[in-house]
């Protein structure tokens, strides 16, 4: 009971200070966050040994050397009940040494630890949510050494989403430890209109599923999971682009690269599109058993560089030629990236003549002009080689759902 009184009193004091200082933490997510999340592969079946193995394999595979830094525990890490003082309790069988021990281990590898919770009374899997315990939970996260919070939206009743996320933002700030705040509200309440000052990223869709272009309906809850292309086309991209930028990103959800029915080319396309759109690059596969092909995709430094480019502009669809979509992205230092996606069941021939083409980013005022007096080098980013320049047409044969991703610069 004494602990409860202490936490309650501390939370009240902190809350009184909030009108003059509450905000999200600066200097986080200056580029989209990169990491691994447990949900897509393991659901609630997570434990201390698994997380330690993931931290080990992170380093052994060199994922940290290309930018990945967060190990994220999704739903199911906590016990089914809070303790007598109202504190969250790590599941005693899954995490017998507690979350701080896991955080310490992850930190010893040079990585950061993230946790999951929910704005409602219960999480989506039925564990204790944070409603009514926001400041208490934030203090506990800080005590444990947590670096990232994914905050879901199940069992929220009539809660106002903006205010609910502001409450947790303020609680995290009051607790004093810089924690990246990932809003997982599924885009139902247009977070791109209000979340820039609340979180570091916000989901724009429901959950992803491991297919390229499908919808998976869940009868038990009357909700859907979405394939890669369904998420890509779910919202107006220009509307989303207006809200995103340094420190606040549209989140297309964790990636399914290496999972389900995705082919090699679809894995490449999935990864490239998320990079072009500046979505957080959060892996969702089993790192211990993935193929060398998948490892090559997720560690491609040239593709990652598009996502982590310091200009911080989300890509846009420039045009469509037959079955080939052309996505463009302005980059720092006057460079541009282009993603040519053959979204079809059949082979498609790309013959893109750069000559006398002007591409404009109408929202942000960037423009690139290609002509005989303004020639750019072209680099194929998945091959990792220069393939000529813009004096001659770009030609390729693209298979089903295959991309050609190039960077053009002087």
**Helix, strand or coil, per DSSP, at residue 7:** helix
**Helix, strand or coil, per DSSP, at residue 74:** coil
Q: Where are the beta strands (DSSP E) in 158-263?
A: 180-183, 201-203, 215-218, 223-226, 249-251
297-328 b/e (C-beta count within 10 Å ≥ 16 → b): bbbbebbbbbbbbebbbbbbbbeeeeebbbbb
Q: Round to whole Å and give the CA distance between 223 and 214.
A: 14
Residue 309 Cα distances to 56, 151, 298, 330, angstroms: 28, 26, 16, 9
CA atoms within 13 A on the CB side of 29: 34
Q: Round to whole Å and give the CA distance between 352 and 335.
A: 18
Strand 385-389 and strand 377-380: the pairing is: antiparallel
CB contact at 8 A, 37 and 282: yes
Q: Round to whole Å and give the CA distance between 288 and 127.
A: 27
Angle at 248 between CA 245 and CA 251, to 5 degrees: 100
The residues with which 152 forms a beta bridge, in sequence order, are 118
Q: Which residues are marked as active site? A: 152, 207
Residue in the block written with tokens 């017998």: 96
Q: What is the token pair recorded at 140?
A: 């506990």
Backbone φ and ψ for 404, nearest 5 degrees, come out as -115, 120
Q: Is the dihedral of CA 318, 324, 330, 335 positive or negative?
A: negative
The CB density around residue 334, as the number of other CB atoms within 10 Å, is: 13
Q: Round to whole Å and give the CA distance between 315 and 329.
A: 4
Q: In what order do the strands lie in the sheet with 385-389?
A: 316-321, 324-330, 336-342, 402-409, 377-380, 385-389
CB contact at 8 A, 370 and 357: yes
């Amino acid at each position: 009971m004494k602990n409860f009184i202490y936490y309650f009193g501390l939370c009240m004091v902190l809350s009184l200070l909030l009108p003059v200082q509450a905000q999200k933490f600066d200097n986080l997510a200056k580029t989209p966050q990169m990491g691994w999340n447990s949900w897509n592969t393991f659901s609630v079946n997570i434990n201390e040994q698994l997380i330690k193995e993931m931290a080990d394999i992170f380093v052994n595979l060199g994922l940290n050397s290309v930018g990945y830094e967060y190990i994220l525990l999704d739903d199911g890490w906590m016990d089914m009940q809070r303790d007598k003082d109202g504190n969250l309790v790590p599941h005693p069988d899954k995490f017998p040494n507690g979350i701080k021990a896991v955080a310490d281990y992850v930190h010893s590898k040079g990585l950061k630890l993230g946790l999951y919770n929910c704005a409602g009374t219960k999480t989506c899997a039925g564990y204790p949510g944070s409603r009514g315990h926001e400041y208490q939970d934030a203090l506990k996260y800080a005590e444990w050494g947590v670096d990232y919070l994914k905050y879901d939206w199940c069992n929220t009743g009539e809660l106002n989403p903006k205010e609910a996320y502001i409450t947790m933002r303020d609680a995290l700030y009051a607790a004093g430890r810089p924690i990246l705040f990932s809003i997982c509200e599924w885009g139902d309440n247009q977070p791109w209109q209000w979340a820039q000052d609340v979180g570091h990223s916000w989901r724009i869709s429901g959950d992803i599923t491991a297919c390229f272009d499908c919808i998976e309906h869940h009868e038990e809850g009357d909700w859907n999971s979405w394939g890669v292309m369904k998420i890509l086309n779910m919202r107006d991209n220009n509307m989303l682009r207006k809200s995103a930028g340094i420190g606040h990103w549209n989140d297309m959800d964790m990636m399914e690269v290496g999972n389900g029915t995705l082919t090699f080319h679809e894995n490449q396309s999935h990864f490239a599109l998320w990079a072009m759109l500046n979505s957080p690059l959060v892996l969702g596969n089993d790192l211990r058993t993935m193929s060398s092909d998948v490892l090559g995709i997720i560690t491609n430094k040239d593709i990652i560089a598009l996502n982590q480019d310091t200009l911080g502009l989300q890509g846009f669809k420039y045009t469509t030629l037959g079955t080939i979509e052309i996505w463009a992205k302005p980059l720092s230092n006057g460079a541009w990236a282009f993603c040519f996606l053959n979204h079809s069941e059949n082979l498609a021939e790309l013959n893109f003549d750069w000559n006398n083409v002007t591409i404009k980013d109408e929202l942000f005022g960037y423009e690139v002009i290609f002509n005989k007096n303004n020639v750019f080098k072209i680099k194929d980013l998945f091959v990792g080689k220069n393939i000529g320049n813009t004096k001659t047409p770009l030609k390729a044969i693209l298979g089903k759902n295959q991309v050609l991703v190039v960077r053009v610069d002087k």
